[in-house]
Amino acid sequence: MKVAYFPGCVARGNCPELNQATREIAPLLGIELVELEGAPCTGAGVIGQQNPLLADTYNAKTLALAEAEGVPLMTLCSTCIGCLRKSNYKLTHDEDWLSQVNKHLKPGGLEYHGGVDITHILFVILNELGVDNLKGMVKRPLSGLRVAPFYGCYMLRPQEIMGLDDPEHPDSLQRVITALGGEPVEYAHMTRCCGFPITLENEEASFKMAGAALGDAKDHGADCLVTPCPLCHMSLDMQQSRITKYTQRTYNMPVLHLPQLVGLALGVEPLKLGLQKHFVDTDLVTSTVVH
Amino acid sequence: MAEVTFRIQRCDPEQDGKPYFKEYGFDVPEGFTLLDSLNHIKAYIDDSLTYRFSCRSSICGSCGMRVNGHAKLTCMTQVMDVLRPDGSITIEPQGNQTIQRDLMVDTSLFWEKMRAVKPWLEPDPKKGVPEKEYRQDPAVFNSFVEESTCIMCGNCVSDCTSLEQDANFRGPAALAKAWRFDVDDRGGDQQQRLEMLVEDGGIWDCVRCNECVEVCPKTVAPMEAILKLRQAALERGLTNSIGARHVTVFTDSVTRAGVLDEKELPAKSLGVGNLGKLIGALPLAFTGMVKGKISPLPHKPIPGTEDLQRIRREIEKEATE
């Protein structure tokens, strides 16, 4: 299937391995990535705190670009999908707001009419490809690997805007893990916040949130985490050693981006998926899967 | 009828005070709410079960509890809607508060935090006391009508992620109430209240996880009220905080380059007053560069950034006209 590709800032910035892994697996899954020239950052819910009209106009620009391509918009990030869907919700439920936004878009040669399907690679895999087809593509089953899903807030909440999975008891990541031959590990913190948005404002609370999730997953016997959100990845992987300062606990918990986990099972070499770039060693995962 | 097993957390402070789970099973008739089920258990199975309730009509806000890990009003929750595939429902007391007994929590923390934001109208000392009653402009009232629907059930406080890790956080209910009084033009102390709310534990400590929006049984959406308070703080000159700088640096970065400059953001948000924190994060940046994750070069701007700058210029000009 053809999708308008929106990798987001982090997959082009601090987590380049996410972009790299997605480009590796897309052709294997039959996903054609249409590049969107000139699509800005979603604002991550931050720009809207200063100026909601500016945030929604920037997002409407991305939506108008996808609308012109006539294909769904595919993100790689829980925050990106959450922000784009929140803007889209307001634009499609408030005609006045849409006309205000379009007034500022039109001088740049764009207009948004509403109704673009905003999705995430997780739901392209589940809803377009299907778990049975995914299962048939597996070359290296994740046998014996206990994988703990970590969703990221905006993928699930608020349900009224997202509506892609049950916000209290989601199962989309577990279905993918199972199709890849792995064993999903369910734990209470899989739907909770990683703490990323307040890393600068309140480091202690932020790191304790991430530590609570890592500890819960470890207590439930997880070998690794998988997340559809690179911001969660930054909290859970890049900050993992610093979290110990506040929780007095070490985790040694590899945290994989969803496209990396899929890529491993589809037979892509770990190096091509950028696993060597992680802060927490992923050898435990690759040795379980590759052998 | 459906056979349901209720896993209910019990706790008796007069014994050892350690919470434990006890199971109760019975055939639940169609249309039973969770509160109906608790009342059935108390009346026919175990009269020692303790919980708080009153109106049974989602008005009094007394019967908030955690159901399968998430806060709900038990009087407005149908048993069949929360039945897990194994035929069970787990009920625990609300989170982030001290258990008094079984499913009943001590609500004093909730009320202390509520009182601390001064949720009442103080007259403007410059204007003095009016001769007649204060009149409410309907348009102003409509701007905070959603926040006014709060029934103080505490569900948002129960599931607040920030409060779970930082007891100093003012919490979603109190901050939503603060927004309601900030926007009410009959009051005269809005700026003092807002100055208090930008301090540590205030509006910038919300992690924006949407848990409070999801568990609110009314239409308060506390997190959205917190975001409106942040906008008010920025507009009214309360910008000397990491959170406020974070917003302005973020917006400037995206307007300039179309993407977020992840290297500029921490340095400028923390500012010179937080040099220690910045130095503490340097090893992370160094490791990221060695691993090939973090590029030492700035982000390449996206095509068409002049259009983003034009949009911002026009919107900001329009706002001042």
The percentage of residues in chain B with a pLDDT greater than 70, rounded to a whole number, is 100
The larger pLDDT score, comparing residue B264 to residue A217, is at A217
Contact by Cβ (8 Å): B51, B104: yes
Radius of gyration of chain A, Cα coordinates, nearest whole angstrom: 19
Handedness of CA A124, A129, A135, A140 (dihedral sign): negative
Decide if B307 touches A, using CB distance below 8 A. Answer: yes
Q: What is the ipTM of this complex?
A: 0.96
How far is residue B258 from each of residues A16, A98, B299, B301, measured CA to CA in Å? 17, 21, 9, 6
pLDDT digits (tens, 9 = 90+) for B266-319: 999 998 888 888 888 889 999 999 999 988 888 889 999 999 999 999 999 999
At B190, is the pLDDT very low, low, confident or very high (cuts 50, 70, 90)? very high
Residues A10, B242: C-beta atoms closer than 8 Å: no
DSSP structure class, residue B69: T
pLDDT beyond 90 at B132: no
The overall pTM is greater than 0.90: yes
> What does the pLDDT look like over A116-161, one tens digit per residue?
999 999 999 999 999 999 999 999 999 999 999 999 999 999 999 9
Say yes or no: do domains B2-105 and B108-235 share a fold: no
Per-residue pLDDT averaged across A16-24, rounded? 98
What confidence score (pLDDT) does residue B151 get? 98
> Distance between the two ends of chain B, CA-based, in angstroms?
64
pLDDT tier for residue A291 given thresholds of 50, 70 and 90: low
Rounded CA separation B5/B310 (Å): 61
Give me the helix-helix angle, A258-265 and A172-179, nearest 10°: 20
The domain ranges of chain B are: 2-105, 108-235, 242-320
User: What are the distances in angstroms from CA A189 to CA A218, A272, B20?
Assistant: 11, 30, 20
Task: Give pLDDT tens digits for A228-264.
Answer: 999 999 999 999 999 999 999 999 999 999 999 999 9
Q: Which residue of chain B comes nearest to A241, CA vs CA?
A: B284
For residue A198, what are its two tokens? 């307040």
Residue type, B153: C
CA dihedral B278, B284, B290, B294 (to 10 degrees): -80
Residues 94-153 of B with CB under 8 A from A: none
CATH superfamily label, B108-235: Alpha-helical ferredoxin (1.10.1060.10)
CA–CA min distance B155, chain A (Å):
15
Mean pLDDT of chain B: 95
CB-CB contact of B265 with B250 (8 Å): yes
pLDDT tens per residue across span B24-80: 999 999 999 999 999 999 999 999 999 999 999 999 999 999 999 999 999 999 999
Of A251, A260, A196, nearest to A219 by C-alpha is A251
Tokens describing residue A194: 């990683």
What confidence tens digit (pLDDT) does each residue in A199-225 have? 999 999 999 999 999 999 999 999 999
How many whole angstroms separate alpha carbon B65 and alpha carbon B48? 18
- Chain A contact present for B85, CB below 8 A: no
Fold type of domain B2-105:
Ubiquitin-like (UB roll) (3.10.20)
Looking at beta carbons, which residues of chain A come within 8 Å of B166? 202, 204-205, 208
State phi, psi for A29 to the nearest 5 degrees.
-90, -5
Cβ–Cβ gap B161/A41 under 8 Å: no
